[in-house]
Structure 1
Amino acid sequence: MSERLQKVLARWGLGSRREIEGWIREGRIRVNGKPAELGTCLDESDRVEIDGKPLRRPRLFRPRCRVLLYHKPVGEVCTRKDPEGRPTVFDRLPVLKTGRWINVGRLDVNTAGLLLLTTDGELANRLMHPSSEIEREYAVRVFGEVPPEIIERLQKGVELEDGTARFTSIRDAGGQGMNHWYHVVLKEGRNREVRRLWESQGIPVSRLIRVRYGPIELDRAIRPGRWEELDDASLNRLRAAVGLAPQKPARNSPARRAKYRPGGRRPRARR
């Protein structure tokens, strides 16, 4: 059975579908010696070259999907290489034999919290696409309490330079002194959207932490700069949220390893 080239390469973890479509337009990919087109389909017998180099495909045409939950600290960037020499989230991740880690959305350098990374480009694409309407929840610290009319305005919709934006919910999370915390939820991931929404009302954000992406919540036991691989149940909840079929557990999956640990403990979060 053949499938679209960009869909297959995304599933192998070479990039998101959007990235790979760009490579096709630039003429960087050849299939069976001919330049690939956006409509090119691929089956198991086809030979693929990227930038003139033969692609070593995974042993299985449908490689297993893996997802990491990474607790991003402030100061790290979400690019693979930073021209300013700042540390990147990829510096701490486990090395893959095939494919690569794809970050599901980004967090800016001053934002901390939950960042998902996967080997499955199709999953990443669906989680980020606006049509999926996947919820992102943030803990936000602002200076002083916010009057009800501003809360109402932020939920009703505010006009930003790239269009109307709003929070689907805002919950007061308390605070001490003039520092006040709120939990906000939105269903898209535009650049610095949470900060820009608050700042549009003259309210600067002093701290921002992503605490949930879809059905996956940030585990407080995972310290900043550390990661944990999702178990089969959590992975399949994430896949179900974007209409993908569940993945059967592997014999050496984290969930199975946890089952045989003394006391039934789950695998530890790792660097």
Structure 2
Amino acid sequence: MRTHKPARPGKPKSPLRATNIDKHGIPVSAVTHKLQKLLAQKGLGSRREMEALIASGQVIINGRKAVLGDRVGAQDRVQIGKRIIRFDFAERLPRILLYHKPEGEIVSRLDPENRPTVFDKLPHLRSSKWIAIGRLDFNTSGLLIFTTDGALANRFMHPRFEVEREYAVRIIGKLSDEHITQLTTGIQLEDGIVSFDQLIEQGGENVNHWYRVILKEGKNREIRRMFEALGITVSRLIRVRFGPVNLPARIKRGKWLELDEKETRRLLTLLA
């Protein structure tokens, strides 16, 4: 991993295969890809957002409006409005950052209250944008993953993949056996029944006690709301793992690390 350095404008160096033949021996010019996947990989948004963009008629292929299901290759001209979108059909790895979010930052580019945003801390990109893989609320700290690949972000976030999220939770008081049973079998919230896949006591002192919890979805303020439903206050909440990615101890709050080529390939293999 590369350690955090002050962000500098500039074109990122990404590993490329300098070839016009793909890994199956087929000329790149003959290969086509799903349009929404390419747009997401370009960093223009999530795959779902790109599908909506195509459905709205804003994407043009070779002078005609694109439709869902279209595929494009190196010979095709793709536009969004008047902007021409250029794709690199040789293999290019996505960029992936791990960020240690402190409390007091939002995971959004714009905020009516003008609160600090995590995006202000990230390195500058010229031709794409950082996509946050999941969110953490204003008062939650811990691991955030950012990428330039919308398809990769979708692989982490879509409910059908059931990617685990692990949190360290500090509460005021201590859970009873009945509380633990409720939290692991199901709590009724306004948006449905939710439960932890695992809940492990981590000890504590005085009135504070720590627990590790694991769940496979990411509803808004879900963990806090589960404890609140039992009349229990969460005083600290830290995400320590998202899928196969742990929060490295050496990343200080408000700092980031970028995965190198080897680490990126390993992560993509684990998610395949």
Shorter-chain TM band: 0.7 to 0.9
Q: In 2, Cα distance between the equivalents of 1:33 and 1:139?
A: 52
SS at structure 2 position matched to 1:75: coil
Residues 142-179 of structure 1 deviation map (CA, whole Å, 9 limit, x = unaligned): 10111011111111112222222110111111122101
Which structure 2 residue ranges, 5 or more long, are not aligned? 1-30
Question: Which one-letter code corresponds to 2:245 in the other structure?
Answer: I
TM-score (norm 2): 0.84
Distance verdict in 2 for CA 1:51–1:84, change over 3 Å: farther
TM-score (norm 1): 0.85
Residues 99-124 of structure 1 deviation map (CA, whole Å, 9 limit, x = unaligned): 21111011111111100001111111
The answer to whether the 8 A contact 1:4-1:39 is kept is yes
Question: Which one-letter code corresponds to 2:67 in the other structure?
Answer: E
1:100 aligns with 2:129: yes
What percent identity do the matched residue pairs reach? 52
Question: Which one-letter code corresponds to 1:220 in the other structure?
Answer: A
The answer to whether the 8 A contact 1:6-1:21 is kept is yes
Aligned counterpart in structure 2 of residue 205 of structure 1, from 231, 234, 246? 234
Deviates more, 1:152-161 or 1:111-120: 152-161
1:6 aligns with 2:21: no
Aligned counterpart in structure 2 of residue 33 of structure 1, from 63, 73, 89? 63
1:158 aligns with 2:187: yes
Deviates more, 1:231-240 or 1:213-222: 231-240
The answer to whether the 8 A contact 2:74-2:87 is kept is no
Moved over 6 A (4+): none
The answer to whether the 8 A contact 1:12-1:62 is kept is no
Distance verdict in 2 for CA 1:93–1:40, change over 3 Å: same
SS at structure 2 position matched to 1:6: helix
> In structure 1, what is the equivalent of residue 215 of structure 2?
186
Q: What is the root-mean-square deviation of aligned Cα atoms in Å?
A: 1.5
How far apart are 1:231 and its partner, in Å? 3.2
> In structure 2, what is the equivalent of residue 171 of structure 1?
200
Which structure 1 residue ranges, 5 or more long, are not aligned? 244-271
How far apart are 1:223 and its partner, in Å? 1.0
Question: Which one-letter code corresponds to 1:206 in the other structure?
Answer: S
How far apart are 1:59 and its partner, in Å? 4.2
